[in-house]
Structure 1
């Protein structure tokens, strides 16, 4: 069970956290805001599949 969920968006080499309210934060600032030293990050990978029509 998750205690809190937020979305991370990678732009270039930086990871920004989009939480329930603005503003967005970089990961270090977000961890300080939540008084955490570490967190679990799950990465989703987009996979393109070719389909044949007809």
Structure 2
């Protein structure tokens, strides 16, 4: 699955597994609002299969 993420926009994302990014831990329990640059960092670190979906807010 390929996501087209704009780093300046905000996205509501649903994770498929827990992710640790710097000092933050994100869990797949609920939807999370993230800036595009954070979503890109998660994808670069974990691969795009870590996201169930990413919807622009």
TM over 0.5: no
Structure number with the higher strand fraction is 2
Larger-Rg structure: 1
Instruction: Compute the TM-score of the two structures, normalised by the length of structure 1.
Output: 0.30
Instruction: Specify which structure has the bigger relative contact order, considering alpha-carbon pairs within 8 angstroms and separated by 6 or more residues.
Output: 2
Structure in which a larger fraction of residues adopt helix:
2
